Amino acid sequence: MLGQGIASICGILGTFMEPQSIHSTHSTSSGQASSGSSTVTAEEFFKVELRVGRVENCEHLENSEKLFYDPSYFVDKLFVFAYNLEPRKMAGELSEGMLLCTDSESGPKPIVAPEGSKEGDRIK
């Protein structure tokens, strides 16, 4: 068990038992990063520790402007977290980890851990 922390999850506050959003870079056909993205070296990327974590508790975050899911959606489910990011204040609360989500037109979609995963599994 790696420990416990608080994560900001799509406008709600959750407690997780293992391992904040990674800004991904998408390349165009010319190999250039798409607009709004910045590039990182492979060395920088591999510093981010991605792990499977279970959300134990989840509640609405009062100061959040974004609310996409009912908190009960997350409880007792396994998701992918960026585990070793520096803690920071978000919506007035200290965030010690962040659940990874896709960025779709209909809003964020939490990345559920692959079937058969267990808490603490490292994503490679």
Residue type, 112: V
Note the pLDDT of residue 80: 94
Please state, in angstroms and rounded to a whole number, the distance separating the CA atoms of residues 10 and 81: 13
117, pLDDT greater than 90: yes
Query: In this predicted structure, which of 2-6, 41-45, 69-73, 110-114 has the lowest mean pLDDT?
Result: 2-6
Per-residue pLDDT tens digits for 59-108: 877 777 666 788 899 999 999 999 888 888 877 778 888 889 988 888 88
Please list the residues that pair with 87 across neighbouring strands.
Answer: none
Please state, in angstroms and rounded to a whole number, the distance separating the CA atoms of residues 68 and 11: 7
Per-residue pLDDT tens digits for 32-66: 444 556 888 999 989 999 999 999 888 877 777 66
Does 5-123 carry CATH code 2.40.50.140? Answer: yes
19, pLDDT greater than 50: no
Classify residue 114 by burial, with Cβ atoms within 10 Å: 0-12, 13-18, 19+. exposed
Note the pLDDT of residue 115: 95
